[in-house]
Amino acid sequence: GNSVTQMEGPVTLSEEAFLTINCTYTATGYPSLFWYVQYPGEGLQLLLKATKADDKGSNKGFEATYRKETTSFHLEKGSVQVSDSAVYFCALSMYSSASKIIFGSGTRLSIRP
């Protein structure tokens, strides 16, 4: 079946450090890939997405590239801020599916001032 695996947290970094959160997926077919972010006490918000191989999604300084050959969608940011502290979820969706967005288990990110 379809699944998403992301690196376990928590991840703690200093402000202005480089961030990578790894995500790999298993899917039969060609999924759309997402990163959602959950700030403390809030619901999930879409951070970025990519719908086909080699697409790069970007938003708020975060980037992720859809790599079909390695079935990966790693999240990166060049210089993190304290306000980036949140839980990040990698997810996939199959075009033909009415229901399923499949989420990874989430990675908690904490940024020290």
Q: Where are the beta strands (DSSP E) in the chain?
A: 3-6, 11-14, 19-21, 23-26, 32-38, 44-50, 56-59, 62-65, 75-77, 86-93, 101-103, 107-112
60, 105, 110, 112: which one binds other proteins (CB under 8 A): 105
* Residue 104 binds other proteins (CB under 8 A): yes
Stretch that binds other proteins, among 53-61, 64-72, 77-85, 97-105 (CB under 8 A): 97-105
Site string for other proteins, 46-65 (x = CB under 8 A): x--x-x--------------
